[in-house]
Amino acid sequence: MNANMAKLIVAIVLDVLDFTIGRIPGFELVFDAILGVIAVALWGLPGLFAFWELADPTGQLDGFVPTMTMIALSQMGKGQKGVER
């Protein structure tokens, strides 16, 4: 398994957690901030996109958007020189 596939799996797991425990009132903002930090650690600057979830203080709207998975998919294959797609 390559690094991109591992990051995609991590992203999917984190999004599933965001859809479930990330919707607990009072906890969702803390969880979204933690996910933002993890996204930046995994993908660098593109991971900053994950912090948009903090704009929804109710935690309901961002529960339907798989942000981490979208970032992972957008970054897959980048940085691989000489590899045909």
* pLDDT tens series, the chain, 85 aa: 688 899 999 999 999 998 888 888 888 889 999 999 999 999 999 999 999 988 887 777 777 889 999 999 999 877 655 545 4
- Please state the domain count of the chain: 1
CA distance 49 to 40: 9
CA distance 83 to 71: 21
**Are the beta carbons of 42 and 36 closer than 8 angstroms?**
no
Residue in this structure with the two tokens 């948009």, named with its chain if needed: 52
* Residue 82 belongs to a domain: no
* Residue 85 belongs to a domain: no
* Residue 80 belongs to a domain: no
* Residue 27 belongs to a domain: yes
* Residue 45 belongs to a domain: yes
Predicted confidence at residue 4, as pLDDT, reads: 87
* Residue 60 belongs to a domain: yes
Predicted confidence at residue 14, as pLDDT, reads: 94
**Domain region containing 60:** 3-75
Predicted confidence at residue 13, as pLDDT, reads: 95
* Residue 81 belongs to a domain: no
* Residue 70 belongs to a domain: yes
CA distance 83 to 78: 10
